[in-house]
Amino acid sequence: MPELGPLRPERVAVYTLTLPGLAVAERIHRVLPGSTLYAAAKYRGLLEGAVYFEEPIKELLLKTWPLHDGHVFVMASGIVLRAIAPLILDKRVDPAVLVVDLKGRYFVPLLAGHLGGANPLARHLAEALGGALLFRADVTQDEELDALFAGVKEAFGGLDYLVHAIAFAPREAMEGRYIDTRRQDWLLALEVSAYSLVAVARRAEPLLREGGGIVTLTYYASEKVVPKYNVMAIAKAALEASVRYLAYELGPKGVRVNAISAGPVRTVAARSIPGFTKMYDRVAQTAPLRRNITQEEVGNLGLFLLSPLASGITGEVVYVDAGYHIMGMELEG
């Protein structure tokens, strides 16, 4: 079992608002002897020794924030962020803040990960409860990326592989004409969708073990025009070029870098692309396999590229799109 770092169990508070959260909070409370469990008053009496509260969580924190060195919230991260925002002062003095989902599967340090001890606390609880340790970061903020990889190093010592699966462009930059793209939207799309790979690869480099790999996700629009994909297509083209340069530079260290070019898959993010439904149907009609791909097929390719089975493959863009990318012209009859 990992150590708690600078935190002492008796200086940690655990909060919950719901009945499912109460069960998880009670397990956390047992793992942290002497911790204080705060539960919504409507569950009064269900747990012996809990402190029950009537007021909104934001008002409760005005009283409990200075009493504890660590705060574990079993609730949605949005609720927590809004509640603690007025209380945050400086990373040197802020307490550790951790968010846990209602099933006790994911443990996410939100505040004071390194200095305050949120990272070792998250790892301690994840191992004790059989969950997964998660870190959050805004890829446009260097300090947050630095903290993310410091947490990874502290928790795991090194990395076997890294999966880069992030992209963003403002919706208005994908609805109109590409020629009308605003400078700030173009720069934001390129920074989040392409430069972020360079930023995380640089920080991962000293952690990646020999034989390790990096995989990112791209799309066919990087090389052919897909109407309404607009600036995201430019970002994907930059991403693919970055894959080749990173593969060249990391190759001597035994680290491989590849990209997966997946066909359209029905995800929440994909549905935000203008005309996605038409795109999805067209691919199924045109692709040689006469269907769309599944998320499992994308995952299988990623697993292959990161495994020793792909030990001689680097700098490649590998398609998993039911063969759609090979088609040049459709002829009926």
Catalytic residue list: 219, 229
By three-state DSSP, how is residue 256 classified?
strand
The DSSP symbol for 191 reads I
Contact residues for 12 (Cβ-Cβ < 8 A; gap 6+): 32, 35, 36, 68, 69, 70, 71, 72, 121
- Residue 221 CA to residue 231 CA, distance in Å, equals 10
Angle (deg, nearest 10), helices 230-250 and 196-204: 20
Detail the DSSP E strand segments found in 121-236: 132-133, 159-164, 208-218
Q: Are 140 and 195 in contact (CB under 8 A)?
A: no
Comparing C-alpha atoms, which of 48, 173, 31, 50 is closest to residue 98? 31
